[in-house]
Amino acid sequence: MIAIASDHAGFQYKEKTKSLLSELKLEFKDFGTHSADSVDYPDFAHAASEAVSKDECEWGIIVCGTGIGVSIVANKHKGVRAAACESVTAASLSRKHNNANILCIGERLVGWGVAEDMIKTFLTTNFEAGRHTRRVEKIHLLTGR
């Protein structure tokens, strides 16, 4: 199950993400927002991140204007490793090296073609483990996970 969320600035890409995930036959849960009306991104980023933190969802895809605000929010949640990415390479490495479980996208910074490829890459790239396991464990030294 994939948690998806956005604020108003990421609303169009969230809707496109829903279509893409449906095409790929992947299940998702939409934590809002549900229109392009102005809202506060932490409200929606917290909801989707909590679902990942509680293992109710395996993955998250969260969109705002830059991807930055929602990534800051998401990374406050225990067990969440959120990556704000602007390239397919970054999305791939966030999985291979960081075992990221939430992809954050900036609708105002990245074209939809790149965003679509980042989503596909993020969801199909495995963590490389090995030396990266020790490093990822150290990310969670303060919270245990």
Write the CB contacts of 70 (distance below 8 Å, at least 6 apart in sequence). Answer: 5, 6, 7, 10, 41, 44, 45, 62, 63, 64, 82, 84, 104
DSSP, collapsed to helix, strand or coil, labels residue 143 as coil
3-state secondary structure (DSSP) of residue 6 = strand
Q: Which of 1, 68, 93, 114 binds ligand RB5 (CB under 6 A)?
A: 68
| Residue of 2, 3, 5, 7 that binds ligand RB5 (CB under 6 A) | 7
The CA distance from 41 to 64, in Å, is: 7
> Which of residues 108 and 135 has its CB atom nearest to ligand RB5 in the complex?
108
Q: Is 9 in the site for ligand RB5 (CB under 6 A)?
A: yes
Tokens of 116: 């679509």
**Whose Cβ is closer to ligand RB5: residue 51's or residue 84's?**
84
Site map 23..42 versus ligand RB5, x via CB under 6 A: ------------------x-
Alpha-carbon 92 to chain mean position = 13
Known active-site residue 97 = yes
Contact between 110 and ligand RB5 (CB under 6 A)? Answer: no
CB closer to ligand RB5, 39 vs 90:
39
Q: Which residues of this protein are in contact with ligand RB5, per CB under 6 A?
A: 7, 9, 41, 64-66, 68-69
